[in-house]
Homo-oligomer: A and B are copies of this chain.
Amino acid sequence: MSSTRDIDKLIEMMARLPGLGPRSARRAVLQMIRKRGQLLSPLAEQMAKVAATARECLNCGNIGTEDICDICRSEKRATGEICVVQDVSDLWAMERGAVFGGRYHVLGGTLSALDDIGPEDIRIPQLVARIENEQISEVILALNATVDGQTTAHYIADQLDGRVRITSLAQGVPIGGELDYLDDGTISAALKARRSI
């Protein structure tokens, strides 16, 4: 089917996106073709625009459309606090919460002996440099509660020890969480960190 090759190719490309498979890519492409005026053409233009302008912030590693991202440039953000996250998606998750008023540092990964990922690969030297240059008083380690995430958090804490206050996100029962469905590690962490009320 030579002339539908372009459509097949589009389906194949869409199917490579995370969260989409061949079936959902087919549905999405069909829907886009049906509404090509409102959906396909504008989406193509928007993608081309983002492809041309998106880049990593030279300071923190966030994704934006300038060399220095909005958060780093904003005068409304507190300058003394840096929140260290693994990925841009984590930064976005923190921003949705809208409770942190400082700036970020995106590592872009975690230390991993297995995958041969060392401190230089995940922007840790840049973080150390920022602590020295930006008069930082507190570093909040908001890394995932996984083995790799916590290994990385400990490594960073060691590197910065004595130079700055280092904190991490509290561990415990999530809002709406039912004890019956929580793993033992979470319950044990929540019990250890119990508070008087």
Interface positions of A (Cβ within 8 A of B): 1-4, 6-7, 9-10, 13-14, 16-20, 24, 26-33, 36, 39-51, 53-54, 63-66, 69-71, 87-89, 92
Contact = CB atoms under 8 A, between A and B. Distances in A.
A6 B51 contact: no
B47 A44 contact: yes
A174 to B, nearest CB: 17
A7 B43 contact: no
A113 to B, nearest CB: 23
A19 B43 CA distance: 16
B13 A18 contact: no
Nearest to A43: B13
A40 B30 contact: no
14 contacts: A1-B70, A3-B64, A3-B69, A4-B63, A6-B50, A9-B46, A13-B46, A17-B28, A17-B39, A29-B50, A33-B54, A40-B54, A41-B48, A44-B48
Contacts of A33: 50, 54, 63
A92 B2 CA distance: 15
| Contact residues of A: prevailing secondary structure | helix
Contacts of A51: 36, 40-41, 44
Contacts of A29: 50
Contact of A50 (B10, B31, B49, B50): B10
B3 A66 contact: yes
A39 B16 contact: yes
A69 B3 CA distance: 8
B47 A10 contact: yes
Nearest to A95: B1
B50 A40 contact: yes
Contacts of A26: 89, 92
A31 B4 contact: no
